[in-house]
């Protein structure tokens, strides 16, 4: 009996050690997020004593030292001479706000939006209540992270534009209008309309693109009801999880009514029950379901059904970011 109990304790310790090892990965994410948020990798761009960096950045010397200690262990920082510390080049490149190649905004969305929501799960499970997603608060963060997805999606979008030759394109939920700008740069005679709810995002997009794109501030559903023209192509990117599943067929019917006779739609969205990204989409669905105003992801079968409801046919399913289950779906209106 003692031997059985002893084996159980050993297994318990081993399991605890395994969980600790798993959590080591989170330390790197946390460290990079703090460094991005507080511009600390730039502070250590040149070798400097942590105490001197604390004075320059006007932050707590003791807390900064603890951040430095973690950074040395996870490999984001390295020791230089005489006790000085320097940031690794990769961290300056990918986790600095001043770098054009930074992905730090993704860490901000993860650490300040997604993970805090998932940590609320015990209370939500008990109460069966839901959080309210604060679109205004996170609009600019989400618009920024969407630009990372654009890098994977712009090329196939431009290939579709080249194939279909649309004279006019509407981007629903256009964010900073990265897709429309890419089209303008290659096909400047195309009529381009972006529709975005956030006033702040619209302001920034207009400052960035000037009169190259007709950027309209307002609700997508109102726009679809009031728009009196016909577009050759509509983009519905990162959009569907803002609509309840029971309303999505009607959404595609309204989109179809806004299309010309041979118009097309491009949809970008993570998909459940698809070939790639099952772990991410499962976690994404948990995040969505924790909110009263966000909704679960569609499946490939759902996309076929939405297209059919709008008198369209799915032409292609293209994986964009396999780890995240992100797909580009091209639909074409049927004559």
Question: What CATH architecture applies to the domain 127-333?
Answer: 3-Layer(aba) Sandwich (3.40)
| Contact between residue 256 and residue 227 where contact means Cβ atoms under 8 Å apart | no
Report, as an integer, the average pLDDT of 262-276: 96
168-172 and 231-237 strand pairing: parallel
Q: Where in the chain is the domain with CATH 1.10.10.10?
A: 2-96
**What torsion do the CA atoms of 289, 325, 252, 206 make, to the nearest 10 degrees?**
90
Q: How confident is the model at residue 6 (pLDDT cuts 50, 70, 90)?
A: low
pLDDT for the residue 152: 87
pLDDT greater than 70 at residue 177: yes
Indicate the average pLDDT of the chain: 93
pLDDT for the residue 21: 78
Q: Does domain 2-96 have CATH number 1.10.3720.10?
A: no
pLDDT greater than 90 at residue 316: yes
Q: Where in the chain is the domain with CATH 3.40.50.150?
A: 127-333
Name 55's Cβ contacts closer than 8 Å, sequence gap at least 6: 61
Name the residue with higher pLDDT: 11 or 310.
310
pLDDT for the residue 144: 83
Report, as an integer, the average pLDDT of 202-225: 95
Q: Is the dihedral of CA 116, 121, 124, 126 positive or negative?
A: negative
Tell me the per-residue pLDDT of 68-89, one tens digit each, with 9 for 90 and over. Answer: 999 999 999 999 988 999 999 9
pLDDT greater than 70 at residue 25: yes
pLDDT for the residue 3: 55
Q: How confident is the model at residue 7 (pLDDT cuts 50, 70, 90)?
A: low
pLDDT greater than 70 at residue 4: no
């Amino acid at each position: 009996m003692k031997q059985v109990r002893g084996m159980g304790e050993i297994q318990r310790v081993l399991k605890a050690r395994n969980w600790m090892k798993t959590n080591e990965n989170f330390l790197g994410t946390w460290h990079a997020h703090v460094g991005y948020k507080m511009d600390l990798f730039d502070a250590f761009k040149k070798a400097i004593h942590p105490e001197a960096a604390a004075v320059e950045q006007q932050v707590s010397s003791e807390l900064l030292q603890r951040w430095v200690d973690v950074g040395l262990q996870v490999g984001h920082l390295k020791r230089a001479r005489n006790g000085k510390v320097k940031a690794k080049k990769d961290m300056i490149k990918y986790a600095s706000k001043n770098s054009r190649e930074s992905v730090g905004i993704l860490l901000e969305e993860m650490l300040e939006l997604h993970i805090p929501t998932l940590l609320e799960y015990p209370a939500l499970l008990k109460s069966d209540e839901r959080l309210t997603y604060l679109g205004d608060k996170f609009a600019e963060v989400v618009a920024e992270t969407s630009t990372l997805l654009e890098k994977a999606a712009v090329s196939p979008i431009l290939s579709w534009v080249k194939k279909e030759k649309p004279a006019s394109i509407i981007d629903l939920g256009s964010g900073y209008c990265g897709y429309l700008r890419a089209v303008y740069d290659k096909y400047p005679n195309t009529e381009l309309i972006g529709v975005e709810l956030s006033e702040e995002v619209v302001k920034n997009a207009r400052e960035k693109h000037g009169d190259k794109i007709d950027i309209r501030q307002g609700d997508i559903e109102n726009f679809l009801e009031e728009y009196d023209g016909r577009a050759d192509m509509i983009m519905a990117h990162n959009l569907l999880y803002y609509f309840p599943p029971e309303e999505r067929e009607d959404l595609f019917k309204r989109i179809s009514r806004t299309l010309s006779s041979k118009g097309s739609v491009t949809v970008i969205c993570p998909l459940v029950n698809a070939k790639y990204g099952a772990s991410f989409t499962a976690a994404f669905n948990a995040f969505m379901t924790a909110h009263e105003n966000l909704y679960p992801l569609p499946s490939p079968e759902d996309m076929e059904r939405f297209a059919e409801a709008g008198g369209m046919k799915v032409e292609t399913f293209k994986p964009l970011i396999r780890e995240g289950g992100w797909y580009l779906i091209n639909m074409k209106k049927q004559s």
